[in-house]
Each structure stands twice: as C-alpha cells, then as structure tokens.
C-alpha cells in the first residue's frame, strides 16, 4: 500500500511538485540563513576576541569595572610573574599581555611645529619579543600594506586611513600624546614602520599597533599591563571551558576586598557579547519557527486546493472501502514523503550556497562603515554539522502540519457530498 | 438468515431547504434478491443517487430501515461500513473516476490492495477482470490515453475484480455514446449471469432500461412503479 501511494505521488506532478518546491525553497533558505548567521556570529566573536576581549581576559577588578575608559592607572602590576604562573597553570591557553591606549597623534614639520593632529586609539602587543603569538593571533604580517613589521620597541604600525588623513609615510616620525599610568601627560616619539589594513571598518579609521615593551616605557608601565588576554590554541571560543578556567583562576587570585587584585572574565561576560551570542542561538530557533509557520500556511492552502481537486479521488477511495482515517493517514504519509524529499534537496542547495559563501564571502564594508563593532568586512557563511539537519525541522514539520490541517476537510464533509462535487 | 441482498423499510431522506425540508427519499420500501439485474429509474432529482448511496453505506437515511447483505446499515460503525464496502460492494460512477496517476492495471488492483490479497493472486485476478471487460491489451495504459468507453470498462473491471456480491452503478452510460453504452451493458449482464453478481443501476437512460429485468420508478422520492420485464434481452438487437 505504501508503495502504491508513493507511486501515485511521484507520478502526479501537481500533487508533488508544488509542495516539494515550497519545501525546497523554505529549507534552502533556512539552511543558508542558518549557515550565514553562524558565519556572522563566528566572525563577530573571532574579531572581538582578537582585538578586544580574548577568550578570557585578566585585569584588575577596578579596571574591569571601568574598562570602557581604558583606565591604565588601574593596570595589573607585577605582570611578569603573573604571566609565568598562568602559563604554568593553564598551559592549553596562549597568554598575552596588552596595553590599550588612546591619545593624539601629532605630526611635526621640519621645524618641529605641529603640522597635523588626529585622535587615535591603539593596542600595544608583543611584537619584538621572541614568540610570534600576537603576530599569529592578529595575523599582522599579512595585513601590512606598505613598510614592514615593527622590530624595535618604538616602531609603530598605522592603519591606512589614518596614514592618509595625517599625510605621513613609512619612516616618518610621529608623536603620541597620551597619559602615563600615573596620570601625567606624555609625548613620545615613534617611527612609522608600516601601514596596516585589517579590513575591519571599525579599526581601519584610526588605529595604531605599538610594541608592548615600547609602550610600557612610554606610559611608565614597567612590569605592568592593562590586560592579559588568553586564547584557546584552536582559536575557537569554548563557552564552558572558558568559564571553568575563569572560575579556577578567580578562586585563586580574585580578592573581593582588594580592587587591585586580578580578576578573569570570559568573552561571554564582556562587552555585552552575551546578548549577541544568546541572540544568535535563539536566531536559529526563530528562523526555523518562521519557516515552519510560513511554509505550513502555504502548504495548508495548497493542500486545500489540491484537496478540492482530489475530492473525486477521495470519494472513489471511500467507495472502494477505505476509511476516512486511512485516507487522512495516507495524506500525511504523502506529505511526509514530500517533506523529506523537499528537505533533502533543499538542504543540498542550502549547503551548496553556504559552502560557496564560506569560500567566497561577501564584502559588507559599506554596511559596516559606521559600525563600532569590530567585525571583518568580508563575512563568510559558516557551515556546521547542524546546517545539515536544521532544514529538516521546518521542512517536515511544515508539510505534515499543512496537510494535517487541510486534510481535516475530509472528515468535515459527508461522504456522499464528496461525490456531489464530482458530478458537478 | 436473510435472503434479500437489500431491504428497505419506510426509508426517508430529508435535506433542509431554507425553511422547508426536501424529501429526497419519501417512504421507500423496497427489496432486492441476490442475483438481480435491476434499476432505479426516474427523472433527474427523483432520488436515485440518494437511494444508491444509502444502499452502498456511503450515506445514511434520516429515518427508516436499510439492510444490506444482512447488515443493518444504521448500526454499522464507519469502520465496519468501510469493511463491508471493501469486501462485498462495488461502485460504478457516471464520471468513471479512475485514479489518473495509476495505470489500468493499478486502478483495478487497488481494491485488492485494500483486501490485502497477495501479489501473485492480485495479478491473476486483475488479468481475469481485464479479460471480462476485453481490455487485456491496455493493462499498462494510463486513463488519459483511454476513450470514455474504455475508461468505463476499466471502472467495471475495478468494481468486479474482487467478485463482490453487489455492484451499484449510478448512471454508468451518461457519458458514453450509444455503441459504448450497449457494450458495457452487455458486459455487465454477462458478469451478472456468469458470476452471479447482483447489479443495481440508477439511470434515466432508455438504452440501459432495455437491459434491466426489473425497473423501479421513483418520482419525487417515492416509489411510483415496480415492474418486472422478462423481455430484457431485446436491447441487444438495437
Ligand atoms: N446534499 C444535498 N443537500 C441538499 N439537497 C440534496 C443533496 N443531495 C441531493 N439533494 C437533493 O435531493 C434530491 C434527489 O437527489 P438525487 O438523489 O441526486 O437525484 P437523482 O440521482 O435521481 O438525480 C434532489 O432534489 C437533490 O437536489
Ligand atoms: Mg443521480
């Protein structure tokens, strides 16, 4: 009997084609949107981690509270020994010290007078030390447009748009005007070693990268650091594991009565990223739900329409001795089959688009022009194992729901009435 | 044990019509013996289809008694009614109502699937039915490739393939030309003789009436006349 139903279904294109196409498009969109959103979220998390939050971050308790102001006067002290001990305690994590800073860049003319000025913000990372960790994390070498990597403590890398704005070139001297850890004004000279372009609208406007040891000297932060960031070695944020690490660290170091004791926060708990991450995981449910709803309505209506056409068929089948329940069941079975077929081909198509955009990416620079979010201008889809299954939820739910609702009409109608519709 | 295949007593079927009621069947008391080749005749709207549908357990009367194959249809659950139809009743319609997505063979096979008959036996039974209606060579055709006469013969094969006790045929010739009408009437009369299947028609077609051994005339839902015509073979000569 199932074979019989299947045969009829596959041969009758009007029964089959429209529902399959509906499911196909809905599932394709679901799979693609899911993979796309996944890509967006992965990208936001990745760049935010790299430039701002790390996967975990150590600061003083006081610094953590006012982080937005970059309060370097509340920086961690005795950083060398702290680094040594966290590297020992958590060897699976890359630990890197950083100083964030902001200030004014002053470009002098030949006479030493101010030619141009611009506000900047930047990070100081270990560029001149022995290990290449920061270069790897931030992929700096590949982002250099002209000039070279910083190799001396007072070499500095300047973002391309800022270079344009200031009218400077590689090799020029510039002065950073900022405040030291003690709160006094400082003017320090740097040499532009290279220009960088990260392809992140939020950064490329007025960003500089300095060497950590150089900036320690410039801002009077000997053996101090604003922050120590920790990164998982596979560069993927792991929510549970980072919480465990933070818990272990804090039970050791965090002292509620000492505002200068170090505290570790996870990426999830910083910068309101939690709401973005939570939204992303809800988003998947929301798309699935929207498509279940939309496709159900479409399939319900197409079920009603094809139901009208099929009253003749139902009438004959009843006359031959099928019960209404059996016919209803066979309608559900038909819809299950269409749902599965539509979901399979829809998933294949959605994955194809997803993989293509994972490989190609779309440049969204114009959209991010005024964004403060650090997110790469080129967004790629991210196909995960879930992309393979997510489409089946709306695909199959919607077809079954659609035909379950439209099929109720069989019960509403009198059997003899089904024949009347035929004779008309 | 009841020796009548259909027996009705004071059958009443009403439909609401605005404030009034329409009596589609009004006090119909009839009985049919096993093996009859009979017809309910009368003008359009006289209640023929309503009667057939009730006798076929597809509809139920407003009041009165209807016994089919020994079963009181009023007391049948919808499942038992379906079972009775599956096993013992075949239907033939004016509009053929073949399932368009299935071949001739599969259309005829369908009632046997409902009876859960094995594959080999199904094959044999369908082949027999095709032989009875003279369509053995169209087994793999689809309904859209058949003429009206051929379609109706497939419908007959579908109704008789399970060798039911009773076949109810509602205006089977209404969509056929004269030649095809005579053809299928002859086919059905042969099946009636050879297999002993009871045929009850609803018709207002003179060509059909000539073949009937018994004609019950309905007028406005009432039995107007119930007559036996022994000279039923004369239709063949026309
Ligand atoms: N479902 C229905 N609702 C209302 N009136 C109906 C319905 N079915 C049949 N009738 C009426 O009952 C009468 C008998 O109909 P029917 O049995 O189809 O007649 P026949 O088959 O002899 O042409 C007609 O007047 C018809 O309009
Ligand atoms: Mg009628």
Residue of A nearest to B160 (CA): A320
Closest ligand 1 atom, residue B218 Cα:
22
Q: What is the pLDDT of residue B136?
A: 95
**Any B CB within 8 A of A129 CB:** no
ipTM confidence score: 0.89
* Closest residue by Cα to residue A199 from A146, A141, A157, A159: A159
SS3 at position A233: coil
Q: To 5 degrees, how large is the angle CA A177–CA A180–CA A182?
A: 150
User: What are the structure tokens assigned to A81, written together?
Assistant: 């020994």
pLDDT at B90 (0 to 100) = 96
Q: Which residues contact A105 (CB under 8 A, 6 or more apart)?
A: A117, A118, A119, A120, A162, A166, A174, A175, A176, A177, A208
- Sheet with strand B222-228: strands edge to edge: B89-92, B166-170, B198-203, B37-41, B214-219, B222-228
Å from CA of A314 to ligand 2 middle: 19
| Cβ contact A321–B95 (<8 Å) | no
pLDDT at residue A267 greater than cutoff 80? yes
Question: What average pLDDT score do residues A163-176 get?
Answer: 92
In this model, does residue B237 exceed pLDDT 60?
no
The ligand minimizing its distance to the Cα of A420 is 1
Using an 8 Å CB-CB cutoff, list chain A residues near B50: 416
Whether ligand 1 lies within 6 angstroms of the CB of B49 is answered as yes
Measured between CA atoms, the residue of chain B closest to residue A424 is B95
Interface contact A318, partner B, CB < 8 A? yes
Q: Residue B104 pLDDT more than 60?
A: yes
What is the model's pLDDT at position B2?
59
Residue A377 has pLDDT above 80, yes or no: no
At A28 the pLDDT is 93
* pLDDT score recorded for residue A111: 82
Averaged over A96-124, what is the pLDDT? 90
**Is B217 near ligand 1, meaning CB less than 6 Å away?**
no
The verdict on a CB contact (< 8 Å) between A11 and B102 is yes
Q: Ligand 1 in contact with B53 (CB < 6 A)?
A: no
Tell me, using a 6 A CB cutoff, whether residue B46 lines ligand 1: yes
B44 CB near ligand 1 (under 6 Å):
yes
pLDDT number for residue A40: 83
Mean pLDDT of A176-184: 93
State pLDDT tens for residues A275-329: 777 777 787 778 778 888 888 888 888 777 777 778 788 888 999 999 999 999 9
Ligand minimally distant from the alpha carbon of residue B51: 1
The residue whose CA is least distant from atom 5 of ligand 1 is B15
Q: What is the pLDDT of residues A137-153, one digit of tens each?
A: 999 988 999 999 999 99
- pLDDT tens digits for A23-73? 999 899 989 988 888 888 888 888 889 998 999 999 999 999 998 889 999
Q: Does A421 touch chain B if contact means CB atoms closer than 8 Å?
A: no
Pairing label, strands B198-203, B166-170: parallel
| C-beta atoms of B106 and A414 within 8 A | no
Q: Do residues A78 and A85 touch, judged by C-beta distance below 8 A?
A: no
Hey, what are B226's tokens? Answer: 């119930």
Distance between CA atoms of residues A230 and A91, nearest Å: 10
pLDDT in tens, B53-65: 999 999 999 999 9
Q: Residues of A with CB below 8 A from B76's CB? A: none
Q: Is B177 in the pocket of ligand 1 (CB under 6 A)?
A: no
Contact between A288 and A26 (Cβ < 8 Å): no
List pLDDT tens digits, range B129-174.
999 999 999 999 999 999 999 999 999 999 999 999 999 999 999 9
pLDDT at position B238 is 43
| Closest CA to ligand 1's atom 18 | B49
Of all residues in chain A, the percent with pLDDT exceeding 70 is: 95
Residue A12 contacts B where some CB pair is shorter than 8 Å: yes
Q: Average the pLDDT over A178-187 and give the result.
A: 93
| B204 alpha carbon – ligand 1 mean position (Å) | 15
Check pocket membership of B203 for ligand 1, CB cut-off 6 A.
Answer: no
> What is the model's pLDDT at position A374?
65
B17 close to B212: Cβ distance less than 8 angstroms: no
Among residues A151, A399, A185, A196, the alpha carbon closest in space to that of A299 is found at A399
Q: Please state, in angstroms and rounded to a whole number, the distance separating the CA atoms of residues B152 and B140.
A: 16
pLDDT of residue A370: 60
Distance B49 CA to ligand 2 centre (A): 4
Query: Which regions of A90-213 does DSSP assign to beta strands (E)?
Result: 93-108, 114-125, 144-147, 155-159, 173-179, 185-196, 207-211
Percent residues over pLDDT 70 in chain B: 95
Which ligand ends up closest to the CA of B21?
Answer: 1
Q: Which of B12, B40, B44, B45 should be mutated for ligand 1, with most atoms under 8 A from CB?
A: B45
Contact B93 A419 (CB under 8 A): yes
Q: Tens digits of per-residue pLDDT, B80-97?
A: 999 999 999 999 998 888
The model carries a pTM of 0.77
- Give dist(CA A180, CA A292) in Å, integer: 58
List, in order of start, the domains of chain B with CATH numbers: 4-94+166-237 (3.40.50.300)
pLDDT value of position A313: 84
Look at residue A424 and tell me whether its pLDDT is greater than 50: no
Confidence (pLDDT) at A373:
60
Distance from C-alpha of B66 to C-alpha of B72, rounded to nearest angstrom: 6
CB A321 within 8 A of CB B116: no
Q: Does A14 touch chain B (CB under 8 A)?
A: no
What per-residue confidence (pLDDT) applies to A264?
96
Best of A4, A13, A314, A316 to substitute, by most chain B Cβ atoms within 10 angstroms, is A316
Task: Name which of B110, B209, B218, B217 is nearest B158 in CA terms.
Answer: B110
Query: Cβ contact (<8 Å) for B99 and A316?
Result: yes
- The token pair that represents A390 in the structure block: 């997510």
Q: Is A319 on the interface with B (CB under 8 A)?
A: yes
Does B78 contact ligand 1 (Cβ within 6 A)? no
* CB B15 less than 6 A from any atom of ligand 1: yes
Please compute the mean of the pLDDT values over residues A335-352 and round it to a whole number: 94
The mean per-residue pLDDT over the stretch A14-30 comes to 87
The reply to whether ligand 1 has any atom less than 6 angstroms from the CB of B24 is: yes
Smallest Cα distance from A348 to chain B, Å: 28
Q: Tell me the C-alpha distance between A380 and A363, whole Å.
A: 9
Residue ID of nearest Cα to ligand 1 atom 1: A417
Residue A422 — pLDDT band, cuts 50, 70, 90? low
Structure confidence at residue B66 (pLDDT): 96
Which residue spans within B48-104 are E strands per DSSP?
A: 63-68, 71-72, 89-92
Residue A114 has pLDDT above 70, yes or no: yes
Grouping H, G, I as helix, E, B as strand and the rest as coil, residue A117 is strand
Measured between beta carbons, the chain B residues lying within 8 angstroms of A414 are: 59
Using a CB–CB cutoff of 8 Å, tell me whether A328 touches chain B: no
Average pLDDT of the residues in A190-207: 89
Whether B67 and B118 have beta carbons less than 8 Å apart is answered as no
For ligand 1, the distance from its centroid to the CA atom of residue B23, given in whole angstroms, is: 9
* pLDDT for residue B1 is more than 60: no
The per-residue pLDDT for A420 is: 58
Mean pLDDT estimate for chain A = 88
The H or E element containing residue A388 is helix A387-390
Which helix (H) or strand (E) element contains residue A378? strand A378-379
| Pairs of CB atoms within 8 A across A/B | 77
């Amino acid at each position: 009997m199932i074979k019989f139903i299947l045969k009829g279904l596959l041969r009758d294109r009007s029964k089959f084609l429209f529902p399959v196409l509906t499911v196909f498009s809905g599932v394709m969109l679901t799979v693609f949107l899911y993979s796309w959103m996944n890509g967006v979220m992965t990208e936001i998390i990745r760049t935010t981690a790299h430039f701002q939050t790390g996967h975990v971050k150590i600061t003083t308790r006081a610094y953590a509270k006012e982080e937005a102001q970059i309060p370097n006067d509340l920086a961690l002290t005795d950083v060398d020994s702290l680094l040594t001990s966290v590297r020992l305690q958590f060897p699976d994590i890359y630990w890197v010290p950083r100083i964030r800073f902001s200030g004014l860049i002053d470009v002098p003319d030949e006479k030493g007078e101010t030619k141009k000025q611009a506000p900047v913000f930047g990070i100081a990372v270990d560029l001149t030390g022995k290990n290449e960790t920061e270069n790897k994390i931030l992929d700096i070498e590949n982002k250099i447009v002209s000039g070279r990597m910083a190799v001396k403590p007072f070499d500095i890398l300047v973002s391309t748009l800022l270079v344009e704005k200031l009218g400077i070139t590689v090799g020029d001297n510039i002065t950073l005007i900022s405040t030291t850890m003690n709160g006094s004004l400082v003017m320090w000279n740097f040499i532009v070693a290279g220009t960088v372009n990260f392809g992140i609208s939020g950064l490329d406007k007025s960003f500089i990268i300095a060497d950590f040891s150089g900036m320690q000297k410039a801002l009077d932060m000997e053996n101090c650091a604003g922050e120590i960031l920790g990164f998982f070695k596979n560069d993927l944020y792991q929510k549970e594991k980072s919480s465990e690490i933070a818990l272990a660290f804090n039970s050791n170091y965090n002292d509620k009565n000492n505002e200068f004791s170090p505290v570790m926060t996870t990426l999830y708990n910083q910068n309101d990223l939690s709401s973005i991450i939570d939204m992303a995981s809800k988003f998947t449910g929301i798309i699935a739900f929207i498509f279940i709803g939309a496709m159900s309505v479409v399939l319900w209506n197409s079920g009603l329409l094809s139901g009208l056409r099929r009253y003749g068929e139902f009438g004959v089948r009843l006359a031959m001795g099928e019960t209404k329940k059996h016919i209803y069941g066979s309608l559900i079975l038909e819809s299950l089959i269409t749902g599965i077929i539509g979901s399979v081909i829809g998933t294949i198509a959605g994955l194809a688009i997803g993989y293509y955009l994972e490989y190609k990416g779309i440049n969204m620079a114009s959209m991010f022009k005024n964004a403060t979010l650090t997110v790469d201008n080129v967004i790629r889809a991210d196909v995960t194992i879930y992309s393979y299954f997510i489409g089946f939820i709306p695909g199959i739910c919607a077809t079954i729901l659609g035909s379950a609702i439209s099929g109720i009409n069989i019960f509403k109608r009198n059997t003899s009435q089904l024949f009347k519709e035929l004779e008309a | 044990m009841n020796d009548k295949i259909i027996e009705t007593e004071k059958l009443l079927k009403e439909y609401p019509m605005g404030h009034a009621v329409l009596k589609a069947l009004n006090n119909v008391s009839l009985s049919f013996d096993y093996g009859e080749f009979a017809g309910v005749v009368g003008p359009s709207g006289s209640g023929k289809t309503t009667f057939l549908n009730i006798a076929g357990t597809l509809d139920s009367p407003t009041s009165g008694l209807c016994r089919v194959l020994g079963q009181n249809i009023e007391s049948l659950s919808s499942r038992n009614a379906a079972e009775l139809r599956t096993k013992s009743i075949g239907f033939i319609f004016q509009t053929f109502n073949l399932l368009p997505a299935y071949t001739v063979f599969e259309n005829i096979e369908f009632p046997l699937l409902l009876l859960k008959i094995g594959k080999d036996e199904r094959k044999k039974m369908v082949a027999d039915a095709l032989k009875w209606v003279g369509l053995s060579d169209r087994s793999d055709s689809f309904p859209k490739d058949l003429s009206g006469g051929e379609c109706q013969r497939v419908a007959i094969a579908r109704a008789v393939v399970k060798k039911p006790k009773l076949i109810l045929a509602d205006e089977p010739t209404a969509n056929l030309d004269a030649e095809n009408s005579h053809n299928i009437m002859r086919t059905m009369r042969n099946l009636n003789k050879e297999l002993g299947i009871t045929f009850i028609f609803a018709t207002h077609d003179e060509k059909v009436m000539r073949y009937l051994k018994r004609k019950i005339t309905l007028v406005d839902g009432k039995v107007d006349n119930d007559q036996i015509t022994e000279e039923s073979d004369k239709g063949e000569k026309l």
